[in-house]
Amino acid sequence: MSAKAYALYLKDFRSEIRTRYAVNSLAMFVIVATSVILFSIGNETITQSLTAGLFWVVIFFSAMSGLSRAFVSEEERGTSLTLQLLAAPSTIFSGKLLFNMVLVFCMNIVITILYSALFDGFAVRNLTLFIVSFFFGNAGLAIASTIIAAIISKAGAKGTLYPVLSFPILLPLILTSVQLTLMSFEGASFSDAKFELSIIICYDVIMLTASYLLFDFVWKD
């Protein structure tokens, strides 16, 4: 199963390398969104809590612009039926999740570098807390957006529905992640952030389990 899932990931990865569709659109989206924020801030100095919020705003909308490709592209190219014949639903979900996970991590590392270069408020004091919360936050983002991408790829309307469906599901994750990012700016210790970290880990586990259980129903026509 894992070998097949990895093969599916490699297939997506290669087709991404050839077309560079998702990477290009994601990179441009990140640049556009960040520059809009920079223009609107102008010469004002913004607080750290606002910086943490804006950081997750860009992450959310970039994820919404790129992550639906995983399943929508299969429907567009008409290859989803072939995939159904070749592998079990859970294998397909694993492969797609792996691809989205890699995409989210690359995208968010770029966003973090951009933010730490461009925003004065983006000064991480507790780096390990930031990295741990960044890891679990991104994992949750990838899991929830992959299952929603599967749903909208089977539904008719593709582009506009994705952020609408994802936002309520991602809201607990985003609110907690903003809190955690702010805490890492303020230099809070792990014991201060224990509660928030456990929320985010719970969210990841719940969403991962539910996605694997429910993906069968979405995938089979």
Partner 1 sequence: MAWKIFLFVLLAFVCIAGIAFPIVPVPTKWYEFPFIPGLKENAKIIFFHVPTAWLSVVAFLMSTIYSFKYLKNKNLDDDAKSYAAAQLGIIFCILATVTGAVWAKFAWGSFWSWDPRQTSIFALLLIYGAWFALRSSIESEEKRATLSAVYAIIAFLTVPFFVFIMPRIMKGLHPGSADDTNSGPVIDFKMNANMELIFFLSLIGFTILYFWMWNIGYKSIIYRDRINKKYRG
Residues in the site for partner 1, rule: CB under 8 A? 144, 147-148, 151, 154-157, 161, 164-165, 167-169, 171-172, 175-176, 179, 195-196, 199, 203, 206-207, 210-211, 214, 217-218, 221
Q: Which is nearer to partner 1, 30 or 147 (CB)?
A: 147
Q: Which is nearer to partner 1, 118 or 213 (CB)?
A: 213
Q: Which is nearer to partner 1, 121 or 172 (CB)?
A: 172
Cα gap 192→205, rounded to integer Å: 22
Q: What is the dihedral of CA 131, 137, 142, 143, to 10 degrees?
A: 130
Alpha-carbon distances, residue 67 vs 95, 114, 191 (angstroms):
14, 20, 33
Cα gap 154→133, rounded to integer Å: 32
The minimum distance between CB 5 and partner 1, in angstroms, equals: 21
**59: closest CA among 34, 38, 36, 24?**
34
Q: How long is the chain?
A: 221
Cα gap 221→211, rounded to integer Å: 17
The minimum distance between CB 42 and partner 1, in angstroms, equals: 26
Q: Which is nearer to partner 1, 83 or 173 (CB)?
A: 173
The minimum distance between CB 172 and partner 1, in angstroms, equals: 4
Q: Which is nearer to partner 1, 44 or 221 (CB)?
A: 221
1, containing H or E segment: none
What single-letter DSSP state applies at residue 87?
S
The minimum distance between CB 157 and partner 1, in angstroms, equals: 4
The minimum distance between CB 209 and partner 1, in angstroms, equals: 9
